Amino acid sequence: MADAVKTRLAELGLTLPVSAAPVANYVPFHVVDGWVYTSGQLPMTDKGLSCTGRLGADVDVATGVEAAKLAALQVIAKLNDATEGNLDRIEKIVRVDVFVASAIDFFDQPTIGNGASDLFVAAFGDAGRHTRNAVGVAVLPRNAPVEVAVIAKLKA
């Protein structure tokens, strides 16, 4: 039976992707004392990265926003694993880190970050409203345009 989060995702035409495996020696998530930490997620699809390159150079804003959304969808897949398939157990998405691979004259990381943030809010409602760091880094693993990680709290 779908939880409310998956129902909302379905209404948006989205399904959880096959959870991407870590690309190195780390784990996709940890649950400790009711806190969930996810590793940084890239915009992986079943065909690999949705795009590569940097904002302001190789990747335009619309493509970057979509990439951030796909990275956030990978985060939600990890949260789904962390909650054993019941995303309604998420009390709050507390912190979202958004790293945007950026040319030095690209200043619109907030818009790119909203690709992730808007999905969290659409999927989780109030529980998806979060604090955020969004910064423009030089380059990301595999030349990905964006990486997104989350700290969330489970219901007691």
Binding site for a copy of itself (CB under 8 A): 22-30, 32-35, 37-40, 54, 91-92, 94-97, 99, 101-111, 113-114, 117-118, 121, 129-143, 147, 149, 151, 153
Tokens standing for 104? Answer: 């030095």
* Phi, psi angle pair for 117, to nearest 5°: -60, -45
Q: Give the residue with the Cβ less far from a copy of itself, 1 or 26.
A: 26
Cβ at position 1, least distance to a copy of itself in Å: 28
Which H or E run contains 111?
Answer: helix 109-124
Q: Give the residue with the Cβ less far from a copy of itself, 2 or 77.
A: 77
Cβ at position 12, least distance to a copy of itself in Å: 15
Cα 27 from chain centroid? 16
**Cα separation values, 85 from 33, 57, 132, Å:** 19, 39, 25
Q: Give the residue with the Cβ less far from a copy of itself, 1 or 138.
A: 138
Cβ at position 98, least distance to a copy of itself in Å: 9
3-state secondary structure of 84: coil
Cβ at position 77, least distance to a copy of itself in Å: 14
Cβ at position 91, least distance to a copy of itself in Å: 8
Q: Quick one: 126 exposed, middle or buried, by C-beta within 10 A (0-12, 13-18, 19+)? A: exposed
Which H or E run contains 62?
Answer: helix 61-82
Give the span between the Cα atoms of 55 and 137, in whole angstroms: 10
Q: Give the residue with the Cβ less far from a copy of itself, 1 or 105.
A: 105
Q: Give the residue with the Cβ less far from a copy of itself, 86 or 95.
A: 95
